[in-house]
Every structure is written in structure tokens, then in C-alpha cells.
Structure 1
Amino acid sequence: MEEISNLPKSERELRAANKLLRRGLLLEYLTLGWNVVGSIIVILSGMEANSIALVGFAFDSLIEIGASMIVIWQLMGVSQRREKQALRSIGTGFFVLATYILTHSLETLLAQVHPSQSIIGIAWLVATFIVMLSLAWGKEVTGEKLGNSILKAEARVTVIDAYLAGSVLVGLLLNTFFGWWWADPIAGLVIVFYGFKEGWHAWVESSHL
């Protein structure tokens, strides 16, 4: 600590910024790894249980994978052009996710498809809810200290991933314990508003760069 305090201010600030960048990259790599594994587990569980909410959540994980890769790319070469492209890509991911969930949730409700139970899906969603909230907090704090709008925007993606996990979890539990089949597609609709809202926010933010 004493050695660092004796460094010139500019050099100390550079070291601090580099440390924050490494932390941001680590958070993104952890998110990426979790979602790669999770997308496989959830999509298999969703297909087996015929659950639109689980399958939709698996697609959300794929979008989160894409968002993490965009942020990693941006953190490794920060520029205004990259920042604008990254924000718009994240915003587009939000729109795609929200549109997919809205369409398929309505289709499931109209067709009255009754999903079966998925214990593996429930367990993974509980873990994902906790992990994603923790990662989102870390990204928000790190992005704020770095002054990096991309990392903060992706923190919102991760928060939505956690909220989606929570809403899908509630739907699965209601279906499992009470036989409320319609809770599954309704759970998927919870995230639609947030998806469109954050997608629009990312595009507006990119237009100011």
C-alpha cells in the first residue's frame, strides 16, 4: 500500500483503472461461463417439460452470452465507436428477447399447453437468481468506478436475467405445487416490459455518444 501511495498520481490512477478493467473482464468471463452451462441445462429441461418459460430463459441466456462477449470486446479496446456499437448490440438483444418471450407466451396461452414438472430447472433457476444478482452488483459498481457505460448497461442485462429467473421460477413452482399451467407462460410475460424498456434505454444512450 505504501509503495502504491508513493507513485505519481497519474501512474496510481492508471494502475487502479487497469485493476478495475481486469475485475470487469473477470465478471464477464464468470457470466459467460455460467450462461454457457446454463443454456444447455435449461433448454434440455425446458424441452423435456414442454415449458415455454424455461425455453425462453435458455434463449435469454444466449443473449446474455452475446452481451458478455460484446462487453469483453469493448473492455479490451475502449473507444467511442466501440461503445456505441456495443450499446446498440445490447439494446437489440433486449428487443429480440422481449419479442420472443411475448410471442411464444401468447402462443402457449392460446394453445393451452400444459407443461410438466422440472426439478432440475427449478434448482438451476434458484442458483441463477442468486448468482446473476451478485454479478450484476459487481458490474454496476465496477462500471461506475470506471465510468464505463457499456459495463453498466450489461449489468442491467444481468439484473433482467436474474428477474427472469425469478419470474420463471415462480411459474414453475405454481405449476408444480398447484397445477396452474398458465403460470408458466405468464411468468415469461413479466420480463417483456423490462426487455423493451432496457432495449430502448441502450439505444437512446448510444445516440448520445
Structure 2
Amino acid sequence: MKKASKISSPAKTGRTQHLMRGRRLEYFTLGWNMVEAAVAIGAGVLAGSIALIGFGVDSLIESFSGAILLWRLASPAHDESREQVARRLVGVSLFLLAAYVCFEAIKSLVAGDQPEASIVGILLAAVSLIVMPLLARAKRRVAAAITSQALVADSRQTDICAYLSAILLGGLVLNALFGWWWADPVAALIMVPIIAREGFEAWQGEECEECH
């Protein structure tokens, strides 16, 4: 029994370390997205940009996802019931994100709103486009170590945030340079089915290679 305890101890220690790293990543996600939301919504209101405001709301949903994962990672053991609830809540947040992006994109196209150029928005989108893929990759590494589908789902949502950053950046730059106000809502509509699919996969708890 003592020998088994010695063998299992390093594994438990390793899992604890991965859980701590996962929590740090989620704390960073929360902090980043709260700042990002404040800057994006503020800049969006000043410029009259629905895309920027929508991006800020996306950041708030990301914060919700991060809070869910912090709750999930509070358990040192692999709790299947906690994992399932966390995974489905992440799925719901993705569905909400898809619905919001779709609504705002259509609203922008129908209204023909022409926002002013936003240098702050362009800089924010550019920085987010760099940070989000790195954050998503780090989350997937931890998810593989602790076999957490919920964390994988959250990393996918972080990937989506990077995609939306690219869309936002393209839309803001095209609007600033050429006055093509319609560019980002059209691109956002293209992203909607991708976001919805990821939400469905998170809800269903589909297995992925990173989890094994």
C-alpha cells in the first residue's frame, strides 16, 4: 500500500500543478476580457461601431466562460458531473455568442450604419489577435493533461475570439481606409455557423484528440 501511495503521489502532484496552471490561465482570461470589454464597448460607443460593441459583448461572454472553468478547476479530482455541467454551460455561452453576432451583423447591414474610424479599436483587435491564439494553445495543453473536455471547449471559444478579432480588425481597417462599412458585418455572419457548431460540440461533449 505504501509503495502504491509513493507511485501515485507524483501523478497527483502533477495534476495539481496542471490544475493550478489552468486556474491561472482562466484568471488571466477573466482579467483580459474584462479590460477588453471595457475598451471595446467604450470605443464602440464613441465611434458608433456596432462591431466594436459586439466584440466587447463577446469579451463579456468569454469572461462568463472563464468563470465557469474556474469553478470546474476548483475540483482537484476528475468530477464527471461537474465536468458535464461546465461543458454544457460553455456550450450555452457559445450559442449566446452566435445569436448575438448574428443579430448585430444583420442589424448593422439593414440599418446601413457607417461608424467612424477607430484607431483604439484597430489596436485592440490587433493585440487580441496575437494574444488569443497563444492563450487557446496554452489551455489545450492543460486540458490534455487533466483530460478536461470543458477546458478544450473553452479553448475553442478563445479561438473564436481570435477569429472575431481578425474579422473586427479587417472590418475596422477597411472602413478606415476605404469606407467599406459593410465588411465586418458580412464577415461576422460567415462566422456564425462556426460558432454555433462549436457550441453544439461543447454541449454534446464530443471527444477530441487533445483530450487523450
1:32 aligned to 30, 42, 57, which one?
A: 30
Alignment of 1:7-86 (within 5 A): 8-77=6-75, 78-86=78-86
Partner of 2:152 in structure 1? 152
Compute the TM-score of the two structures, normalised by the length of structure 1: 0.92
What is the CA distance between 1:87 and its match in structure 2? 1.1
Deviations 1:111-159 (A, max 9, x none): 1111111100110111111111111000001101111111111110111
Deviations 1:92-114 (A, max 9, x none): 11111111111121111111111
Partner of 1:3 in structure 2? none
In structure 1, distance between residues paired with 2:172 and 2:186: 11
In structure 2, distance between residues paired with 1:175 and 1:48: 15
Partner of 1:176 in structure 2? 176
What is the CA distance between 1:82 and its match in structure 2? 1.4
- The answer as to 2:171 corresponding to 1:189 is no
Partner of 2:91 in structure 1? 91
Partner of 2:100 in structure 1? 100
In structure 1, distance between residues paired with 2:165 and 2:41: 13
Query: How many percent identity over aligned positions?
Result: 40
In the TM superposition, structure 1's runs of 4+ consecutive aligned residues that sit over 3 Å from their partners are none
In structure 2, distance between residues paired with 1:188 and 1:47: 19
Aligned length: 200
8 A contact 1:52–1:184 mirrored in 2 = no
8 A contact 1:87–1:203 mirrored in 2 = yes
Deviations 1:44-84 (A, max 9, x none): 11111111111111111011000000000001025222111
In structure 1, distance between residues paired with 2:126 and 2:203: 31
After TM superposition, the structure 1 stretch with the greater mean CA deviation from structure 2, 37-46 or 180-189, is 180-189
CA RMSD of the aligned region, Å?
Answer: 1.3
Partner of 2:133 in structure 1? 133
Partner of 2:201 in structure 1? 201
Gapped regions of structure 2 (runs ≥ 5): 207-212
What is the identity, as a one-letter code, of the residue corresponding to 1:76?
Answer: A
After TM superposition, the structure 1 stretch with the greater mean CA deviation from structure 2, 59-68 or 103-112, is 103-112
What is the CA distance between 1:204 and its match in structure 2? 1.1
What is the identity, as a one-letter code, of the residue corresponding to 1:12?
Answer: P
Gapped regions of structure 1 (runs ≥ 5): 1-6
What is the identity, as a one-letter code, of the residue corresponding to 1:116?
Answer: E
